[in-house]
Structure 1
Amino acid sequence: MSSTRSAPEPDDPIGYFLEDLTYHGKTDRTREAYERVLRRFESFLDDADPESATHRDCMSFVHSLRGDVADSTVATYAAYLSRFYGYMTEVGAFDGNPMTLVIEEMDETVDKDPARRDVSIPAMRSFVARVRHPLHRALLVTLLKTGMRVGELCNLDLRDVAVTDPELNAAYPLGERPALSGRPDSLFVTSEATVGEKLNGEVRTAANKRKRGTVIPIDDELRRTLKRWLAIRPDSPSPAEPLFVGTAEGWGERLEPQAVRHVVERYAREEGWYRTGGGADENVTPHYFRHFFTTHLRDRTGDRGVVKYLRGDVADDVIDTYTHNWGDQVRETYEANVYRLGV
């Protein structure tokens, strides 16, 4: 299994990534686009190698593009570079993604890119309504209601979910995280999940990228959706009791990010929201749901701090402020403003 493999140490990380793009079925055109951007970044680093690049190196590269290419192209190049680092981190070849901070600072620019697909809340509501499979709907609704990353979704265990429901609490070991004590109807996203390391008795194959653990409210829609899923969830052989497990291949085993991406791609294709060879500006993916969450919740609340807290993107002093005032400032703001999906 993938959890027992040693982390790759390629001499040419970019070549390794491009080869994997081929294995994943990406078109020659897409592969060539990635290669053009990544090799340009490699040349920009001069004597340094991509693995040792810092977020300041990445910021300098992005800054060097401005004035040379269009703003939308700058955003595309940054997205390519972030995907490269995200993938290499996920497979264990790199320790982290230095583009994370860069992308967060670019959010406003990227969000205004006129080429990016703009899905309205009513359109997203109709999209979700057509998803009938309890697992698939639970995956989509959790991503849309929390803004978490796909790896963070896959790393959720039953102990990370607290719900006010006597039936569920009698049937499952829910909400046993100390961080959830006194915080009903919420879930906990840890910052401690690392590829290849054991957490809650299970070696993880995806990493969480949060600066610190985050408690996210569960509203009535997400609670109902999770209850429908748990009613059919197969028993898992894992001592960690993962929340989301396979119902076809890998029956009862923790879902991995690629499986979730395939689920989202399937429904997005049916909706006309995904095209082979399409980029981040066109295709609806799990990452697009994070963008959707950020954009709509930020516009509705006007509170960038709460949104950054929920996304897990803020520094220690800020996250402490929201953690200590979770009930008033986070929960109330979230419940008053989170969009409805009609589930």
Structure 2
Amino acid sequence: MSSTRAASDVDDPIGYFIEDLTYHGKTERTRESYERVLRRFETFLHAETTPGTATHRDCMAFVHSLRGEVADSTVATYAAYLHRFYGYMTEVGAFEGNPMTLVMEEMDETVDKDPARRDIPIPTMRAFVAGIRHPLHRALVVTLLKTGMRVGECCNLDLRDLSIEDEELNAAYPVGERPVLADRPNSLYVTSEATVGETVNGEVRTASNKRKRGTVIPIDDELSRTLKRWLAIRPDSPSPAEPLFVGTAERWGKRLDPQAVRHVVERYSREEGWYRTGGGAAENVTPHYFRHFFTTHLRDRTGDRGVVKYLRGDVADDVIDTYTHNWGDQVRETYVENVYRLLA
């Protein structure tokens, strides 16, 4: 373990830092983001300079090299990653000081906490979905767009979390077996229990659901058809949990993880010109953008912020209880009457 080694004797300080992020409980996605930025900085340095010997001028030159190539908020994010790296390595005794301190004080760029995201009209998004032919890929994208759920929540769905009124489907798959769905057909249940490393429904999870309470989300005829089309070709899974979304390539039959879903969305977004390496949240279309799209358009159509917050799973217990007890009249009817159409 890294804690058993003297930090000052580490040959690869970036590797040491990333390893410690693991012990601090940071997600794989966070670790990959840090390593990508730090390795980029390492490559930027002159051959005779290492991260351990870099000066504040080396750091300034690196930050300056990013300007014009990535968004201002991304420049600020990269700088913050580098600052944290140096601050940590200084604290553990590997480096003598943090050369990023002065750089951060003089920077004009800031991390944009609420970026003005790309504005995609519904007809344009409809054309985007029409170009996705693979049943799995289309099911993932339509599910995210129609429910506003987080990518980890999408990955954690099991067949028991899906309820569709279809005799043939119900005879072929163990769908809708959760008691909470017994009187709520044509819906999805997003649990609040899934956590990375914990066993849920017989399977150790690789993604966490961030909801404080479980949520029943209605699904319309478009999402129902899309999911039935996917289930018609879904590979059998070795997992006792029977994941809804499983791999059809390298990880045949195994539950998809968030990174795999992000890669799917990135592929189609790049083809559409909606994704650029180095682009920020204001530019790139990602699974999280779909959550933003859902929130914006459904809120505008319904004028009911409470229902949208309930569906997103980010409201207080008393509000959740209100909509849970009046689910059929207030949630389903509002959703079905106002959700946008995505399929031709």
What TM-score do you get using the length of structure 1 for normalisation?
0.74
Between structure 1 and structure 2, the one with the greater Rg is 2
In the alignment, the residues of structure 1 paired with residue 231 and residue 33 of structure 2 have an alpha-carbon distance, to the nearest angstrom, of 38
In the alignment, the residues of structure 2 paired with residue 324 and residue 154 of structure 1 have an alpha-carbon distance, to the nearest angstrom, of 27
- Match in the other structure for 1:54: none
Query: Quick check: 1:124 aligned with 2:159?
Result: no
* Consecutive unaligned residues in structure 1, runs of 5 or more: 1-5, 44-67, 79-105
- Match in the other structure for 2:184: 183
* Alignment CA distance shift 1:257-1:117 (3 Å): same
Contact 1:37 1:77 in 2 (8 A): no
1:19 shift after superposition: 3.7
**Which deviates further from its counterpart, 306-315 or 23-32?**
23-32
Question: Which letter maps to 1:36?
Answer: A
1:41 shift after superposition: 8.5
* Consecutive unaligned residues in structure 2, runs of 5 or more: 1-19, 45-65, 87-106
Query: Quick check: 1:144 aligned with 2:145?
Result: yes
RMSD: 3.2
- Match in the other structure for 1:155: 156
Contact 2:37 2:81 in 1 (8 A): no
- Match in the other structure for 1:133: 134
Q: Is the partner of 2:291 in helix, strand or coil?
A: helix
* Alignment CA distance shift 1:170-1:117 (3 Å): same
1:12 shift after superposition: 10
- Match in the other structure for 1:8: 22
* Alignment CA distance shift 1:25-1:144 (3 Å): farther
1:77 shift after superposition: 3.4
* Alignment CA distance shift 1:40-1:8 (3 Å): closer
Contact 1:160 1:176 in 2 (8 A): yes
Q: After TM superposition, list the pairs within 5 Å mapping 1:26-105 onto structure 2.
A: 29=66, 33-37=76-80, 76-78=111-113
- Match in the other structure for 2:238: 237
Q: How many residues align?
A: 279
- Match in the other structure for 1:200: 201
Structure 1: 4+ residue segments shifted above 4 A: 10-13, 15-18, 22-28, 38-43
* Alignment CA distance shift 1:172-1:191 (3 Å): same
Q: Is the partner of 2:268 in helix, strand or coil?
A: helix
Contact 1:10 1:16 in 2 (8 A): no
- Match in the other structure for 1:249: 250
In the alignment, the residues of structure 1 paired with residue 304 and residue 39 of structure 2 have an alpha-carbon distance, to the nearest angstrom, of 39
- Match in the other structure for 2:260: 259
What TM-score do you get using the length of structure 2 for normalisation?
0.74
- Match in the other structure for 1:85: none
Q: Is the partner of 2:193 in helix, strand or coil?
A: coil
**Kindly, what percent of the aligned residue pairs are identical?**
72
* Alignment CA distance shift 1:11-1:214 (3 Å): closer
Contact 2:34 2:81 in 1 (8 A): no
In the alignment, the residues of structure 2 paired with residue 329 and residue 135 of structure 1 have an alpha-carbon distance, to the nearest angstrom, of 31
In the alignment, the residues of structure 2 paired with residue 287 and residue 256 of structure 1 have an alpha-carbon distance, to the nearest angstrom, of 15
In the alignment, the residues of structure 2 paired with residue 22 and residue 231 of structure 1 have an alpha-carbon distance, to the nearest angstrom, of 41
1:256 shift after superposition: 0.4
* Alignment CA distance shift 1:276-1:177 (3 Å): same
